[in-house]
Amino acid sequence: MTDERSSAASDEQRSDVHDPAGDATADASAKSDENEAGEAFTIADFHDASQQAGRPVLTAAAVSRALELPHEEASDRLETLAESGSLERLSVSTDPVVWYPSELEDLTDRERVVVFPKRREIIVDRPDQFTRAQLSQFAHLADANGEDGYRYVVRPEDVWSTPHDSFEDLARTMRQALGQRSEPLEEWVESQWDRAHQFRLVTHEEGYTVLEAQTPEIMGNVARQKLDEEHVHAPISETEDWVREGSEAAIKRILYEAGYPVQDHRELASGEELSIDLNVRLRDYQQNWVDRFAEAGEGVFVGPPGSGKTVAAMGAMAHVEGETLVLVPSRDLAQQWADAMVEYTSLEPHQIGQYHGGRKEVRPVTIATYQIAGMDRHRSLFDDREWGLVIFDECQHVPSDVYRRSTHLQSKHRLGLSASPIREDDRQTEIFTLVGPPIGTDWEALFEAGFVAEPELEIRYVPWGDDEQANAYGSADGREKYRIAAKNRGKIDEVRYLLSAHPDAKAIVFVDYLEQGRELSDALEVPFLSGETPHHERRRLLEEFRRDERDLLIISRVGDEGIDLPTADLAIVASGLGGSRRQGTQRAGRTMRPAGGALVYVLATRGTREEDFARKQLQHLGRKGMTIREQTVERDAE
């Protein structure tokens, strides 16, 4: 069991005060007399008190009243029983210590917390939303559906990005979440807290940037060992270095990788003021994201598709009230951002510009593609304007060599958005050094609260459609094996079967290969939307799907991130599991909306490497709280 700070604990405290069982009964008096005569206090005595109180968890005060013992004596006897293993104790932050029988551990449905300080792991059985919210402020949810309960890991970066003003505030949150004080864990967390406050970037009174260290030792032994003339001009003092213009992001990244995140306190220009009001009320967790962003001045909103990251970003815009640059992966997303801003904010269409291959407009709010913003011939247009806020949509792209050039743009505030900030090249830490620390709510909490519907996800292992492909697979090598398995023609029959099993569903079929998409398009007589589809045709097809004028689309990789797909009831992933874990998140996420009842089927050719890809690439979704089933298709191909 863990800290009972919930209303249940408060109710228990009130019932202790007004409990009619506090009036001594004849049986209780007799029991008290026996105890005063020197007879040992046993678990049976505790059960008697528990029966009178009508609950299995008691404070020492409740035992004292029920058995007519002095409070101090009741506490001593409870301690003795605890030492013998018959009772367990729990310190509650808003209540006295409570006691319960040890065997209750195996019977209770209440949450329980176990801390492993050396591994910096926290195992929680049946955590409530309050506990998860507290844990998310200093720990990472590593596994959400294992037999051993929810597994949290406290990593350095979790402590570095905690939204607390002091270590004392952070320690208080930890004790509330854990229901206890773990001194070894707190000592390690405090050491990481100190690391996160050793360096900071500030603006000198003459306008240039200075790197400051807490002590001469930390400056000499860390910063001046890691940085060179590419990053700093010269020392100003024992604890200050003059920073070369444009090297701020590199300094932050280098020191972050050395284990010392830099606090950015530069007085950056906020741009022209721009009044922005929201036309929609933020959900509680979205408001929490915005509040944490407002406190830090930067960050990355991390949440599942459908959790409203775009709307929350507009909440951040309303907070900053400055000219804003939004960077997106494609022109389709640029148009969708523009439409959403008109719908959800007080901005007028003439205040919103788009800058990409199709349009060239720089306005108080400008939406540009990463590629354009990183080109030398266009960058001056963005560099010359003082942005109050730069938003990096799908910011998992930022560490790539092409996209990261856009992070050199200076602004007072930076905000990233990502459903899954995972990179197969393990450069995801760069996302948080180039943009800001992660800010989010664990997926399971959003599933339980009903804000996002948890889709049912099933991996279906499909037999070969014909012997020709099966034989080709057997003689192929390396990547070619995966390609043949992914394009298994037996999947066409399986897609037909799944669509017929859900005749009323709006469905999206994902493919990785153009040839496979065309084959499915011909077989099902439905459009295939790919990178070759003209932009106006894409918009028409997607709008027809949104308006329920069309209930089935086949989509290539262009649907993973480049466009905002409409909500679907059914998603069938016919191929694509050889891609990234992020791709699995995006495709499964196309059904994550509040409506509920969504289904995701992932097809993998039975007995091939595609089976392993399917399990591996979707494993992290299971750790986020999604339930994943597996089914072998026995039906023979016709």
Helices marked H in 42-166 = 43-53, 60-67, 71-84, 129-135, 156-160
For residue 444, the model assigns a pLDDT of 64
How large is the average pLDDT for residues 17-25?
A: 36
Q: How confident is the model at residue 8 (pLDDT cuts 50, 70, 90)?
A: very low
**Rounded Cα gap, residues 513 and 529, in angstroms:** 12
Domains and CATH numbers, the chain: 7-106 (1.10.10.10), 112-195 (no CATH), 199-260 (no CATH), 284-444 (3.40.50.300), 453-632 (3.40.50.300)
Q: How confident is the model at residue 136 (pLDDT cuts 50, 70, 90)?
A: confident
Residues paired with 39 in a beta bridge:
none
Most confidently modeled range among 278-282, 532-536, 581-585, 632-636: 278-282
How large is the average pLDDT for residues 421-433?
A: 53
Q: Compute the C-alpha angle 626/628/629, nearest 5°.
A: 155
561, 589 in Cβ contact below 8 A? no
- CA distances to 33, 286, 564 from 451, rounded to whole Å, are 57, 11, 19
For residue 625, the model assigns a pLDDT of 57
49 vs 34, higher pLDDT: 49
CA-wise closest residue to 278 among 239, 317, 240: 317
Q: What is the mean pLDDT of the chain?
A: 78
**Which H helix or E strand runs over 366?**
strand 365-369
Q: Is the pLDDT of residue 33 over 60?
A: no
Q: Compute the C-alpha angle 374/404/377, nearest 5°.
A: 10
CA-wise closest residue to 3 among 188, 121, 127, 120: 127
Q: Is the pLDDT of residue 442 over 60?
A: yes
User: Which pair of structure tokens corresponds to residue 354?
Assistant: 């788009």
Q: What order of strands is seen across the sheet that includes strand 352-355?
A: 352-355, 365-369, 324-328, 387-392, 411-418, 298-302, 438-440
Q: Is the pLDDT of residue 239 over 80?
A: yes
In this structure, the dihedral spanned by the alpha carbons of residues 200, 205, 209 and 211, taken in order and rounded to 10 degrees, is: -30
- CA distances to 155, 340, 442, 558, 614 from 420, rounded to whole Å, are 18, 22, 12, 17, 17
DSSP character for 22?
A: G
Count, in order, helices (H) and strands (E) of the chain.
26, 26
For residue 365, the model assigns a pLDDT of 95
CA-wise closest residue to 614 among 571, 586, 579: 579
255, 307 in Cβ contact below 8 A? no
- Report the share of the chain in percent with pLDDT over 90: 28
629, 509 in Cβ contact below 8 A? no
Model confidence, pTM: 0.55
Three-class DSSP category at 207? coil
For residue 195, the model assigns a pLDDT of 93
Q: Is the pLDDT of residue 338 over 60?
A: yes
- Report the share of the chain in percent with pLDDT over 70: 73
Give per-residue pLDDT as tens, 56-80.
Answer: 678 888 888 888 888 888 888 888 8
For residue 49, the model assigns a pLDDT of 81
For residue 333, the model assigns a pLDDT of 85
User: Which pair of structure tokens corresponds to residue 331?
Assistant: 């022109």
Place of tokens 């998409």: 517
272, 420 in Cβ contact below 8 A? no
Place of tokens 């995006």: 586
User: Which pair of structure tokens corresponds to residue 207?
Assistant: 């306008």
b/e string for 240-253 if b means 16 or more Cβ within 10 A? bbebbeebbbbbbb
CA-wise closest residue to 609 among 439, 481, 498, 504: 481
CA-wise closest residue to 398 among 409, 382, 386: 409
345 vs 50, higher pLDDT: 345
How large is the average pLDDT for residues 369-378?
A: 74
For residue 570, the model assigns a pLDDT of 85
- CA–centroid distance for 281 within its chain: 22
